[in-house]
């Protein structure tokens, strides 16, 4: 099967991701990004978003985990609060980049990961067990799973994380994907990231 990134690039007419020019100077702390879709989009809490504009940004939390919130364009309606795990790459994204899980023809694409411009560090979204198992079967990939029925940030901060395989079994996360590569570490061995400019051209 084709990799999900290749799949979405080949399907650019189905889903288009843009940063609204008026929000180009976003606060790099929350990495606010506007995603525009002309097709339905499935998000990690199994909500199906109709075509439109949505705001994706990091929740300002005190913990070490990444919690992402998805709002409508006006940010007066919260659709999801999602736990995400670090995903690393050697080359920084030049523009905002979203990837999606492969789904059967005719079904909505499912949000997979998000990289902010200038960062080698992005996030991959976790899915509840049932949804993760379904995506794993459809894509023949291992899908990150969060074992929590709550979207409360305080509970997501301590929720157990695992993965679902295409065979429907529980598994550990693929450490080679979710561990900072040597080139992205400093001399002390701690992961480092490129400073985002907060702009997308």
Which residues sit opposite 160 in a β-bridge? 147
Nearest to 199 by CA among 6, 12, 33: 33
pLDDT of residue 78: 97
Closest residue by Cα to residue 55 from 90, 20, 27, 28: 20
d(CA 181, CA 164): 24
What residue ranges of the chain have pLDDT lower than 70?
A: 1-27, 61-64, 175-177, 179-201
At residue 176, the pLDDT reads 64
What is the structure's pLDDT at 65? 78
* pLDDT recorded at residue 172: 84
- The pTM for the full model equals 0.75
Residue 122 in contact with residue 114, Cβ under 8 Å? yes
d(CA 65, CA 57): 14
Q: What pLDDT does residue 93 have?
A: 79
DSSP state letter for 196: P
pLDDT tens-digit profile of 53-109? 999 999 976 666 789 999 999 999 999 999 999 888 888 878 899 999 988 988 999
Say how far apart CA 167 and CA 141 lie, in whole Å: 10
């Amino acid at each position: 099967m084709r990799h999900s990134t290749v799949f979405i690039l080949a399907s650019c007419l189905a889903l288009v991701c843009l940063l609204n020019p008026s929000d180009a100077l976003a606060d790099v702390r929350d990495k606010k990004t506007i995603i525009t879709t002309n097709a339905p989009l499935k998000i990690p809490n199994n909500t199906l978003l109709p075509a439109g504009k949505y705001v994706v940004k990091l929740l300002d939390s005190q913990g070490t985990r990444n919690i992402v919130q998805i709002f409508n364009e006006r940010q007066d309606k919260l659709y999801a609060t999602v736990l995400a795990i670090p995903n690393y790459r050697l080359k920084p994204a030049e523009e905002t980049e979203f990837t999606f899980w492969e789904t059967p023809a005719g079904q909505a694409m499912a949000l997979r990961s998000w990289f902010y411009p200038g960062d080698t560090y992005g996030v991959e979204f976790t899915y509840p067990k049932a949804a993760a198992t379904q995506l794993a079967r459809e894509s023949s990939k291992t899908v990150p799973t969060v074992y929590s029925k709550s979207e409360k940030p305080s509970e997501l901060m301590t929720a157990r994380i695992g993965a679902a395989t295409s065979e429907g079994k529980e598994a550990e996360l693929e450490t080679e994907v979710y561990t900072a590569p040597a080139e992205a570490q400093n001399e002390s061995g701690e992961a480092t990231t490129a400073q985002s400019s907060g702009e997308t051209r």
